[in-house]
């Protein structure tokens, strides 16, 4: 059974290259280029994964994220952006994204990021077609920062801004002090 991925991306060239690369790996890819098309009720299929560009023609892709999460609760949602920041990463996670990846990203990196939370890449891995890298894909799975690591870095930044005051940091982050203390006690891997 092949995976079905929804790609919401306004850069036509990037979308076509990514679509071709995913289809070579046996992943069925549906591409839309606007938020209106993404929210259309007639999108075909039940998606295993959704790749969402953060900025689509000047609009924020985050605005559709809660709707996508509700409509496709089992899908792994990956936010892609050329404007990566810890603040948007945290916001994307709060709205329902499973992972976040800065551009430029290739098919191998995208599948690795999706695979971290769900088994979208399993259909490719279980098929006889290997997940070989394209000639222009040079980064490895270890080059993708985890969401936990990005969140940890953001928390450390806010904590430093508040001179180590846990209560002030928790208020600034909009979370309970005990939740912050639990997050601080679980330092993620470097990547």
Q: Is 44 exposed, middle or buried (0-12, 13-18, 19+ CB in 10 A)?
A: exposed
* Helix and strand numbers, DSSP H then E, in the chain: 9, 7
Predicted local confidence at residue 51, as pLDDT: 92
pLDDT at 163 over 50: yes
Q: What is the mean pLDDT of residues 114-122?
A: 55
How confident is the model at residue 138, as a pLDDT? 43
Kindly provide the residue ranges of all beta strands, DSSP E only, lying in 33-181, ordered along the sequence.
49-53, 55-56, 59-60, 76-81, 99-102
What is the DSSP code string of 116-132?
Answer: HHS-TTHHHHHSSS--P
pLDDT tens per residue across span 23-79: 898 888 889 888 888 877 566 668 889 999 888 877 888 888 888 888 888 888 898
pTM for the full predicted model? 0.61
Average pLDDT over residues 154-183: 84
> For residue 149, how far is the Cα from the chain centroid?
14
The pLDDT of residue 189: 65
The predicted structure's pLDDT at residue 1: 33
User: What is the second-level CATH architecture of the domain 147-185?
Assistant: Orthogonal Bundle (1.10)
pLDDT, greater one: 42 or 105: 105
The whole-number average pLDDT for the span 83-100 is 80
In this predicted structure, the answer to whether residue 130 has a pLDDT above a threshold of 60 is no
Backbone angles phi, psi at 127, to 5 degrees: -75, 170
Q: Exposure of 121 by Cβ count < 10 A (0-12 exposed, 13-18 middle, 19+ buried)?
A: buried
Return mean pLDDT, the chain. 76
Instruction: Give 154 or 190, the one with higher predicted confidence.
Output: 154
- Minimal CA–CA distance to 144: which of 184, 182, 174, 116? 116
Mean pLDDT, residues 118-124 taken together = 44
Average pLDDT estimate for 92-119:
80
pLDDT at residue 186, rounded to an integer: 77
Q: What is the pLDDT of residue 159?
A: 78
The fold adopted by the segment(s) 4-135 is Rossmann fold (3.40.50)
pLDDT at 116: 67
Domain ranges of the chain: 4-135, 147-185
In the predicted structure, residue 119 carries a pLDDT above the cut 70:
no
């Amino acid at each position: 059974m092949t995976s079905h991925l929804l790609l919401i991306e306004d850069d036509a060239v990037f979308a076509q290259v990514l679509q071709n690369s995913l289809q070579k790996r046996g992943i069925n890819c549906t591409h839309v280029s606007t938020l209106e098309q993404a929210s259309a009720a007639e999108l075909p299929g039940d998606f295993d994964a959704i790749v969402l560009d953060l900025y689509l023609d000047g609009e924020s892709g985050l605005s559709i994220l809660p709707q996508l999460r509700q409509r496709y609760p089992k899908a792994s949602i990956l936010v892609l952006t050329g404007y990566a920041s810890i603040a948007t990463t945290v916001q994307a996670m709060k709205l329902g994204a499973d992972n976040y990846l800065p551009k430029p990203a290739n098919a191998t990196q995208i599948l690795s990021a999706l695979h971290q939370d769900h088994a979208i890449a399993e259909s490719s891995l279980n098929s006889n077609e290997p997940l070989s890298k394209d000639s222009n894909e040079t980064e490895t799975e270890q080059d993708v920062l985890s969401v936990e690591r990005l969140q940890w870095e953001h928390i450390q930044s806010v904590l430093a801004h508040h001179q180590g005051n846990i209560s002030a940091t928790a208020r600034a982050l909009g979370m309970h002090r005990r939740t912050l203390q639990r997050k601080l006690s679980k330092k993620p891997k470097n990547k």
